[in-house]
């Protein structure tokens, strides 16, 4: 309004010398009146506008408050739903009193309380007594940081415990400082973690230490022995014949046997000693606090005796022995690997000297082991160089001494070592995967040799050839036997294939099928080394055997052991009833021959009559006549 008045006053051009006319004053007053009228109208409009705006604002405010309340209601509902349906335990705890202000049903169920019971308790009531001092420290750190994650143990109503991972946060509730704790049960996770830690240090099958823990224990023992100027002993055990048992009874029974052996070993030792499974059928033992290495002898002999006790499997007794190598710190090494390696060399020396024994390490053992490795490399080329030969050991009638057959046995004409017997290289051939090649060569060579004698007009002799478990597992065994017979033209009934009882029971069904197919070729079948393996007499009726060969072990025991003689008599009686001929191996003395004759054995083989001979010498004996003279076995 003042702007309008100002413009009007300027138009009047008021001054003292020229006063305005009446018309001009009327116009001026009229303008003032219009200005006031406009001002009143503007004020009215402004007041009306303000009134309307205030009402709308109130409505908007009320609407916003309602929306906030609804959002809070929904949020509280969602929170309550999450609180009640969470998979974890949730607690609301008063900071000052440590009382449980609220708790979900999951927490109540896991702890075995009702919610009402928990709401009447303090949080310390669900902790074990020995952990109560931790609560002050936890709350102090929680108040400082506002948020904290930690692990605790919860005690259930029945006294059992569970491990939990807790996440806590400080909150305000009804003007009070509280903290919310979400507790997740991690008991199973901890069990899994402990199991993983155990698997990292212990053998999963036997529960004894593994190689890594064994090395660590030896390292600590060396440090202690060095400080105390004392000794420690490392033993390396390898089971003799475990593979045969594992194959005969299956891997499940083999695993069970390893578990039993581990328990027997632990039963012979002190709690301070360490037992470890180093792999397969090998065990390591750490003996600490040994004043004199000679003390070890009694411990080792106790181990050997315990392991050699019989095991019962599937209604049959199984026997196993162990060969032990011994190394002593600091004489035989100053670090774990060297001590284990030298004990390993000593173990191999024990095996080479007859097994079921022990040897202390000496430097020469390593040289002998390396020689064995070199011998294995040379064996790969022995057949190509015509260094392998077939020798023949006579088989005679027990009553008359008449020559009825020969057993083909391999000999190695080694260019530096001379003639090597099978125990020096057959095991190597098996380890190197050459045994099937060697068996096939023996089969072809011996069949051709015996057929040559037959063609010379000599009396027909039965030819016995040993087959290995690898031969039986090889799918082409029947074809290879047929090929050898076809190429040599040897009558099938003159060939007798020998398999040890351990070999045929490695895979019962496959063995029975293969042996049936071999019988269809017309060959004879013999079960070899019977009486010290893992079969039962009842199994004999399920195989088409013609001959049963009693193991040479009985020949060494039969004279002085009435029990062994009784076993032999029982075997002979049952074998005869099954229509089998009975054959005794390893006969070296007249007294053994007489007892086998009394027991009813049909045939005998052993150095009482002759050792294994090269082809030309065997041919000479065959030509000499039907009755075998006794020859010097030296």
CA distance 366 to 2: 123
Of 252, 234, 251, 233, nearest to 243 by C-alpha is 251
Of 490, 407, 410, 496, nearest to 452 by C-alpha is 490
Q: What is the pLDDT of residue 553?
A: 78
Residues β-bridged to residue 340: none
End-to-end CA separation in angstroms for the chain: 151
Residue ranges of the chain whose pLDDT lies below 70: 1-40, 42-82, 248, 313-316, 363-373, 502, 505-508, 532-539, 625-634
Identical topology for domains 86-190 and 380-624: no
Q: Residue 433 region, left (φ>0) first, then alpha (ψ -120 to 50), else beta? A: left
Q: Where are the domains of the chain?
A: 2-82, 86-190, 202-374, 380-624
For helices 590-599 and 562-577, the axis angle rounded to 10 degrees is 40
Q: What is the pLDDT of residue 629?
A: 47
Q: CB 268: neighbour CB atoms within 10 A?
A: 18
Are the C-beta atoms of residues 394 and 360 closer than 8 Å to each other? no
Q: CB 286: neighbour CB atoms within 10 A?
A: 25
Under 8 Å CB-to-CB from 535, ≥6 apart: which residues? 248, 316, 501, 502, 504, 505
CA distance 421 to 412: 7
State both tokens at 208: 């004894």
Cα–Cα distances in Å, from 54 out to 51, 59, 65, 299, 522? 5, 9, 16, 103, 119
CA distance 9 to 471: 136
CA torsion angle for 599, 603, 605, 607 (degrees, to 10)?
70
CA distance 565 to 574: 14
CA distance 435 to 589: 33
For helices 295-308 and 251-267, the axis angle rounded to 10 degrees is 150
Q: What is the pLDDT of residue 354?
A: 73
Q: What is the pLDDT of residue 440?
A: 92
CA distance 395 to 401: 9
Q: What is the pLDDT of residue 16?
A: 45
Q: CB 180: neighbour CB atoms within 10 A?
A: 17
Q: Name the DSSP letter for residue 175.
A: T
Domain 380-624 has CATH 3.90.1170.50: no
Cα–Cα distances in Å, from 338 out to 109, 219, 345, 615? 57, 11, 10, 48
Superfamily of domain 202-374: Reverse transcriptase/Diguanylate cyclase domain (3.30.70.270)
How far is residue 133 CA from its own chain's centroid?
A: 43
Q: What is the pLDDT of residue 262?
A: 95
Q: Name the DSSP letter for residue 541.
A: G
Instruction: Give the tens place of pLDDT for each residue, 212-265.
Output: 999 999 999 999 988 888 889 999 999 988 887 777 677 888 899 999 999 999
Q: CB 369: neighbour CB atoms within 10 A?
A: 18
For helices 363-379 and 336-352, the axis angle rounded to 10 degrees is 60
Q: Residue 229 region, left (φ>0) first, then alpha (ψ -120 to 50), else beta? A: left
Of 4, 53, 57, nearest to 33 by C-alpha is 4
CA distance 360 to 297: 10
Angle (nearest 5°) at CA 479 between 477 and 485: 105
CA distance 607 to 627: 15
State both tokens at 179: 């903290």
CA distance 435 to 439: 6
Under 8 Å CB-to-CB from 25, ≥6 apart: which residues? none
State both tokens at 406: 């020969």
CA distance 158 to 387: 79
Q: What is the pTM of this model?
A: 0.52
Cα–Cα distances in Å, from 415 out to 376, 420, 445? 14, 10, 21
Q: CB 507: neighbour CB atoms within 10 A?
A: 17
Residues β-bridged to residue 482: none
Of 585, 526, 601, nearest to 553 by C-alpha is 585
Residues β-bridged to residue 325: 236, 359
Under 8 Å CB-to-CB from 113, ≥6 apart: which residues? 121, 157
Q: What is the pLDDT of residue 632?
A: 44
Whether the link from the prior residue into 330 is cis, omega within 30° of 0, is yes
Binning the chain into helix, strand and coil, the percentages to the nearest 5 are 50, 25, 25
Under 8 Å CB-to-CB from 438, ≥6 apart: which residues? 383, 388, 410, 426, 429
CA distance 1 to 40: 10
Q: What is the pLDDT of residue 57?
A: 62
Under 8 Å CB-to-CB from 60, ≥6 apart: which residues? none
CA distance 495 to 269: 52
Domain 86-190 has CATH 3.30.450.20: yes
CA distance 414 to 395: 27
């Amino acid at each position: 309004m003042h702007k309008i008045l100002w413009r009007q006053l300027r138009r009047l051009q008021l001054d003292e010398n020229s006063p305005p006319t009446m018309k001009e004053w009327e116009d001026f007053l009229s303008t003032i009146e219009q200005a006031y009228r406009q001002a009143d109208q503007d004020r009215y409009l402004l007041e009306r506008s303000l009134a309307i705006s205030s009402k709308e604002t109130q409505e908007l405010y009320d609407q916003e408050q309602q929306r906030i309340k609804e959002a809070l209601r929904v949020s509280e509902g969602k929170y309550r739903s999450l609180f009640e349906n969470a998979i974890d335990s949730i607690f609301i705890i008063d900071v000052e009193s440590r009382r449980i202000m609220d708790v979900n049903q999951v927490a109540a169920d896991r702890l075995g309380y009702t919610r009402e019971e928990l709401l009447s308790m303090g949080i310390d009531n669900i902790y074990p007594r020995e952990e109560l001092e931790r609560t002050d420290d936890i709350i102090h750190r929680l108040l400082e940081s506002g948020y904290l994650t930690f692990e605790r143990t919860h005690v259930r109503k029945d006294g059992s415990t569970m491990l939990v991972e807790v996440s806590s946060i400080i909150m305000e509730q009804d003007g009070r400082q509280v903290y919310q704790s979400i507790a997740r049960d991690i008991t199973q996770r901890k069990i899994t973690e402990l199991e993983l830690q155990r698997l990292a240090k212990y053998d999963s099958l036997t529960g004894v230490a593994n190689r890594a823990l064994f090395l660590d224990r030896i390292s600590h023992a060396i440090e202690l022995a060095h400080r105390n100027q004392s000794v420690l002993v490392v033993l390396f055990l390898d089971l003799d014949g475990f593979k045969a048992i594992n194959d005969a009874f299956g891997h499940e029974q083999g695993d069970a046997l390893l578990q039993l052996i581990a328990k027997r070993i632990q039963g012979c030792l002190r709690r301070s000693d360490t037992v470890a499974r180093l792999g397969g059928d090998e065990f390591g033992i750490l003996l600490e606090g040994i004043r004199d290495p000679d003390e070890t002898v009694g411990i080792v002999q106790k181990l050997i005796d315990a392991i050699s006790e019989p095991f019962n499997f599937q209604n049959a007794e199984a026997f196993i022995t162990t060969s032990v190598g011994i190394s002593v710190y600091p004489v035989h090494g100053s670090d774990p690997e060297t001590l284990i390696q030298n004990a390993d060399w000593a173990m191999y020396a024990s095996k080479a000297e007859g097994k079921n024994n022990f040897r202390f390490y000496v430097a020469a053992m390593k040289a002998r082991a390396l020689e064995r490795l070199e011998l294995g490399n040379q064996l790969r080329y022995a057949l190509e160089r015509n260094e392998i030969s077939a020798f023949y050991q006579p088989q005679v009638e027990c009553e008359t001494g008449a020559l009825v057959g020969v057993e083909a046995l391999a000999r190695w004409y080694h260019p530096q070592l001379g003639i090597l017997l099978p125990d020096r290289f057959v095991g190597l051939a098996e380890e190197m995967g050459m045994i099937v090649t060697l068996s096939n060569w023996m089969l072809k060579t011996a069949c051709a040799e015996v057929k040559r004698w037959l063609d010379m007009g000599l009396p027909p002799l039965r030819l016995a050839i040993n087959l290995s478990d690898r031969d039986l597992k090889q799918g082409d065994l029947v074809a290879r036997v047929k090929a050898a017979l076809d190429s040599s033209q040897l009558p099938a009934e003159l060939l007798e294939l020998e398999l040890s009882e351990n070999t045929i029971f490695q895979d019962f069904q496959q063995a029975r099928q293969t042996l049936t197919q071999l019988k269809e070729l017309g060959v004879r079948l013999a079960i070899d080394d019977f009486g010290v393996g893992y079969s039962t007499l009842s199994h004999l009726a399920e195989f088409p055997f013609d001959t049963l060969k009693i193991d040479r072990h009985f020949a060494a025991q039969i004279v002085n052991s009435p029990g062994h003689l009784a076993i032999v008599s029982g075997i002979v009686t049952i074998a005869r009833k099954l229509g089998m001929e009975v054959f005794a191996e390893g006969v070296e003395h007249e007294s053994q021959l007489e007892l086998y004759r009394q027991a009813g054995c049909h045939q005998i083989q052993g150095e009482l009559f002759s050792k294994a001979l090269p082809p030309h010498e065997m041919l000479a004996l065959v030509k000499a006549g039907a009755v075998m003279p006794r020859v010097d076995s030296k």
